[in-house]
Structure 1
Amino acid sequence: MAKPDIHPKWYPEAKVICNGQVVMTVGSTKPELHVDVWSGNHPFYTGTQKMIDTEGRVERFMRKYGMFDQSAASDEQK
């Protein structure tokens, strides 16, 4: 059993606030939680995330660590 008088007050209906709006309620030790990003406006969850890979990550890694095959690169350019 929990010891009395050592635990913080529990708020079972704490409000999560993003951009001035209550977006959800959760259980917390604080009555209000102010957040910048939540699942409702995060690009990954909303489907607006853009994958930008102007220079191939593998090629960049290989070149950085000297593992880039120069003969393969010259074959691709022809």
Structure 2
Amino acid sequence: MPKADIHPQWFPQTPILCDGKPLCFIGSTRRELQIDIWLGNHPFYNDTTVMIDSEGRVEKFMKKYQLDYTD
């Protein structure tokens, strides 16, 4: 016989909130879900991607391990 009252409460209309604005509703065991990034404000999807790479990967590796790198 399965144990009674061991399952979490199910909320069928849980809002997903980003910056306090509801995006959609899903079923969840939490009353509400807070997210920081979603498709609408992610830099990759809205063409505001900023690459911050002041030093290249190879140069960073060579500097870290003090190796001589000549082109």
What is the match of residue 42 of structure 1?
42
Distance in 2 between the 1:47 and 1:26 partners? Answer: 28
Identity %: 50
Which residues of structure 1 form unaligned runs of 5+?
74-78
- Aligned-residue CA RMSD (Å): 2.3
Q: What secondary structure, in the 3-state scheme, does the structure 1 residue paired with 2:61 have?
A: helix
Q: Is the radius of gyration larger for structure 1 or structure 2?
A: 1
1:16 aligns with: 16
Q: How big is the shift at 1:51? A: 1.5
Tell me the alpha carbon deviations over residues 9-53 of structure 1, each in whole angstroms, 9 at most, x when there is no partner: 111221011112101222211121122222321223333221122
Aligned length: 71
TM-score normalised by length of structure 2: 0.74
Runs ≥4 residues deviating over 4 A: none
Q: Give the unaligned 5+ runs of structure 2.
A: none
Looking at structure 1, the residues matched to 10 and 49 of structure 2 have their Cα atoms a distance apart, in angstroms, of 36
